[in-house]
Structure 1
């Protein structure tokens, strides 16, 4: 199984956003041996920043991220050309000497023992907004081969980010066994409920949009519903 398909197989059934972020961190750590893997989401316009690291080591607080983002070479590179969301390695943007002169290094990366980083954006950056996975090492830089692998995984990570963003609880969800749904039918319904289209679901799961439609057709029949919103409400126990 190729890395992207393996990602999908292991992550699409995560029961919550927190579990998804933890599982993704672990998988990225295996594929790109690092000192730390971090998920960052920042919107400086509304002064909101989120950072989650694996392993659970000290991380840069949200207020520090908001204070230093304008001096971070990776973030600045995306904000300067907002239509680009390519995978980037910090060593391709600045020299080690230039990096050590930045506040982001002196007040952030240096304290974490970080000198090498690369980022995988999962959404198109806005004027002051970035969402990305960032992997860090203290010494050995990330290779071109690792960058190619990250580029192959980026579309899947972007779709998964969309699927799990703003995830709410599912305490009232009824079991698929109550309706004799197959695991694939339940999986597609859950992803559909997170806002993805049939085409996006097909890409995420490695199946055709037609196959997605057939699974939904069978699921709707078992739930006794003909519309997506009614089927999702039934599955959630509403």
Structure 2
């Protein structure tokens, strides 16, 4: 099984966002052995940042570090003038700054050094601006990421981008599930409808579930019939009990 297919097979349908982040971290660390992995998000306009590390929790407030120093990070700071498209490739810290330069930065002295990190590979899943993004970070000390590892991570990037969207609204999943039972939706029909409710298109849902767009459309058709609906908005409203 190729890496993208393995990620899709193992990561869709998990019970909540925490379960997804834990499982995705484990798969990433198995694909690219590293000291640790982390999922992070930043929204400067709202003044929020979140970092979910795996397999440990640092005593340092990494989320606060990100919010205070995002613009000084050699890779993240470069996004202001660099490629800001959704197709941004994985970015390697060592491609942006030398060790000697890194060790002089506040980012390293007050942030990365406390975490035992001087090598990073960043994989953006939502946004790619210096002031707004979601990304995965693979972290090491001294052992840099080679071109083969960068290429492997790039293979799973599209799936992780879809999954980031799929799990963005996980708190509503329990509501969907409760109402899905009342309408006798199958497990696959409720999963398709959950992903549809997250804004994913038929082709993207098919890629996550490992089936053709035609099969996804059939699941949607059957779900609509059971729900007594003929469109996405009405079907999702019924599932949410609105």
Tell me the TM-score normalized by structure 1: 0.90
Query: 1:1-238 maps to which residues of 2 (within 5 A)?
Result: 1-58=1-58, 59-84=60-85, 85-126=88-129, 128-172=131-175, 173-174=177-178, 176=180, 178-238=182-242
Equivalents in 2 of 1:61, 1:28: separation in Å?
20
SS for the counterpart of 1:133 is strand
For residues 187-218 of structure 1, what are the alpha-carbon distances to aligned partners after superposition, in whole Å with 9 as ceiling and x for unaligned?
21111111112132223334332221111112
Runs of 4+ in 1 over 6 A off after TM superposition: none
Q: Which runs of 5+ in 2 are unaligned?
A: none
Q: Distance in 2 between matches of 1:189 and 1:130?
A: 26
Q: More displaced, 226-235 or 100-109?
A: 226-235
Shift of 1:177: 5.4
Deviations 1:115-164 (CA, angstroms, capped at 9, x unpaired): 11100001232352222100101131112111111111111111111122
CA drift at 1:88: 0.7
Verify the 8 A CA contact 1:38 1:54 in the aligned structure 2. Answer: yes
The Cα offsets for residues 71-124 of structure 1, whole Å up to 9 and x where unpaired, read as 111211222214242101111111111111111001011111111110000123
Separation in structure 1 between the aligned mates of residue 207 and residue 80 of structure 2, nearest angstrom = 28
User: Which runs of 5 or more residues in structure 1 are unaligned?
Assistant: none
Decide whether aligned partners of structure 1 residues 50 and 144 sit closer, same or farther in structure 2, where only a CA change above 3 A counts. Answer: same
CA RMSD of aligned residues (A): 2.1
How many residue pairs match? The answer is 238
For the Cα contact (< 8 Å) 1:170–1:236, is it kept in 2? no
Deviation at 1:176?
5.0
TM-aligned CA distance change 1:134 to 1:163, over 3 Å: same
